[in-house]
Amino acid sequence: MHFSSDIKLSDKAIAVQNKMNALREKMFQKDKSLNIGNYYRWRDTLLNSELYDILYHMPKPAIHHAHLTACATIDFLIYLTRFDSVYYSEQENNFYCSGKGCTKDGYIKVNTLRQYWKDSTEFDSWLAKKLELRPAEDCQEDHKVWQSFQYKFMLSAQLYSYKPFFEKIVYKVCRDFLREGVTVVEFKHIFGTLFDDDHKPVSLQEEIQILFDTQKVIQQRFPLFKMKIIVCGLKIVGRDFVQNQIELLLQADKLTNMVIGFDLVCEEDYNPGTDHFLDQIYDLKLRIGDKFAVFMHAGESYQRTNTELYDAILLGTKRIGHGFALSMHPNLIEIVKEKKICIECCPVSNKILCCVNDLRLHPVRSLLARGVPVSINPDDHGFFQSNGVTLDYLYAYLEWGLDLSDLKKLCLNSLEYSTITEAEKVEMRKFFDWRWRRFLSYVRGKY
């Protein structure tokens, strides 16, 4: 009944598994408190570990849950601030981007500010601290972390939305994912926020062109690479904003096949629930017909009163973002299994946003044991300084007592529950098998 019982490891794979298990044992022997407590206490140890290197080279066919406006590493955002088109106001604690100068009161070119500091690296680390999500060492209160999290989106909005930077970010993020073995990236994205040098809005057509061109350039070297977009409404901003995203989705659907569906985001339990937008989503369903698909964030909460999972399932969600609360609903577990709804689990995000402070106790472990399909995802890894999805896999491997067949099953789930076509899946399975063998050879050769 084990969730990966259909995976049969080759002798070479068993040798790699033994090697990995021994490395895990060594890590825990070295420090029995590994991973207990604050995320940043362990981040560097994990990123520099041999197991991180091994999992970085493991092919991970698809990512289901990554927010495009939270994917760039802090280092890359700092690199962007070195362009002369970036200004900063200490008073407003915000950036302003334009290649045509800035007359706004209190805004100074970031490069000028950098010169005021004795050491430019000190300035960059000061800036990095502002951008990264780093809750206080002893903070275990999720709502408090979320408040500071929302501020990070506001602070970095100009960097993400300035058209020349957006182009660079999309390309960089996709290339970084490819380097760690990801071939299909399904981004959660908010349309219509881009602006140009005159701070005029960039048209939807241009925005889609950027995404399409990035995909095309990457496909020249990596033909199987695919980028998909799930349009996101922000529950915190309200119905008008959500309606605007729905209209943009409908327009985008006429321009590209990259758009695959709709989602609603924001901190649950402190914002209007999905039911507040039901009529709008049903209207979208009527207008788009069979192509309609939702990939709802739901159950990113441990509150018993949270009903988001019910609404997500009733809306016919293809996958569930987080689904953290699912373990509390036995009937829903059976429905999720029957309807083959995949849980987009995001371990690092759940830890840093205090859904669960100790990943050994993550409820997805019991869901896996009950046969619920699960995939591993990075959520907002840019702000977490986790450099992609590899750290999420590493946490899962270390904290959930997984073995290599479990990891392979999670990788294959990312492929099977992605939205690529059946014909593309056939190709991807062949590609995955080839890369898996290469991965085994890499580990056997190096470790």
Tokens of 447: 């470790």
Residue 346 beta carbon to Zn ion: minimum distance, rounded to whole angstroms: 7
**β-strand 319-322 against 295-298: which pairing, if any?**
parallel
Residue 422 beta carbon to Zn ion: minimum distance, rounded to whole angstroms: 27
State the binding string over 379-418 for Zn ion (x if CB under 5 A, else -).
x---------------------------------------
Restricted to residues 192-251, the positions that interact with Zn ion (CB under 5 A) are: none
- Measure CA of the first residue to CA of the last residue in the chain; give whole Å: 32
Give the three-state DSSP class for 252: helix
Q: Pick the piece of the chain touching Zn ion (CB under 5 A) from 14-22, 310-318, 376-384, 388-396.
A: 376-384
| Count of positions on this chain that bind Zn ion (CB under 5 A) | 1
**297: part of which helix (H) or strand (E)?**
strand 295-298
Q: Pick the piece of the chain touching Zn ion (CB under 5 A) from 113-121, 274-282, 373-381, 427-435.
A: 373-381
Residue 110 beta carbon to Zn ion: minimum distance, rounded to whole angstroms: 29
In terms of CB distance, is 253 or 379 closer to Zn ion?
A: 379
Closest CA to 239 of 190, 281, 187: 281
Contact 259, 249 (CB under 8 A): yes
Closest CA to 417 of 306, 341, 312: 341
Dihedral over Cα of 179, 185, 190, 194: its sign: positive
Contact 35, 13 (CB under 8 A): no
Q: Pick the piece of the chain touching Zn ion (CB under 5 A) from 106-114, 252-260, 324-332, 377-385.
A: 377-385
Q: Pick the piece of the chain touching Zn ion (CB under 5 A) from 209-217, 332-340, 362-370, 374-382.
A: 374-382
Q: Pick the piece of the chain touching Zn ion (CB under 5 A) from 23-31, 39-47, 213-221, 375-383.
A: 375-383
| Locus of tokens 């970085």 | 56
Residue closest to Zn ion (Cβ) = 379
In terms of CB distance, is 67 or 163 closer to Zn ion?
A: 67
Q: What is the DSSP letter of 185?
A: E
185 vs 377: CA distance, rounded Å: 10
218 vs 223: CA distance, rounded Å: 8
In terms of CB distance, is 207 or 379 closer to Zn ion?
A: 379
440 vs 431: CA distance, rounded Å: 14
CB hemisphere CA count around 254 (13 angstroms): 8
259 vs 228: CA distance, rounded Å: 6
Residue 52 beta carbon to Zn ion: minimum distance, rounded to whole angstroms: 23
Give the three-state DSSP class for 205: helix
Tokens of 364: 């997805």
Closest CA to 313 of 385, 372, 392: 372
Residue 268 beta carbon to Zn ion: minimum distance, rounded to whole angstroms: 11
Residue 72 beta carbon to Zn ion: minimum distance, rounded to whole angstroms: 16
In terms of CB distance, is 102 or 355 closer to Zn ion?
A: 355
Q: How far is CA 87 from the centre of its chain?
A: 28
Residue 228 beta carbon to Zn ion: minimum distance, rounded to whole angstroms: 15
Residue 174 beta carbon to Zn ion: minimum distance, rounded to whole angstroms: 18
In terms of CB distance, is 186 or 379 closer to Zn ion?
A: 379
In terms of CB distance, is 16 or 232 closer to Zn ion?
A: 232
In terms of CB distance, is 311 or 379 closer to Zn ion?
A: 379
In terms of CB distance, is 4 or 245 closer to Zn ion?
A: 245
Q: Pick the piece of the chain touching Zn ion (CB under 5 A) from 49-57, 151-159, 372-380, 402-410.
A: 372-380
In terms of CB distance, is 377 or 390 closer to Zn ion?
A: 377
Residue 13 beta carbon to Zn ion: minimum distance, rounded to whole angstroms: 32
Contacts with Zn ion by CB under 5 A lie at 379
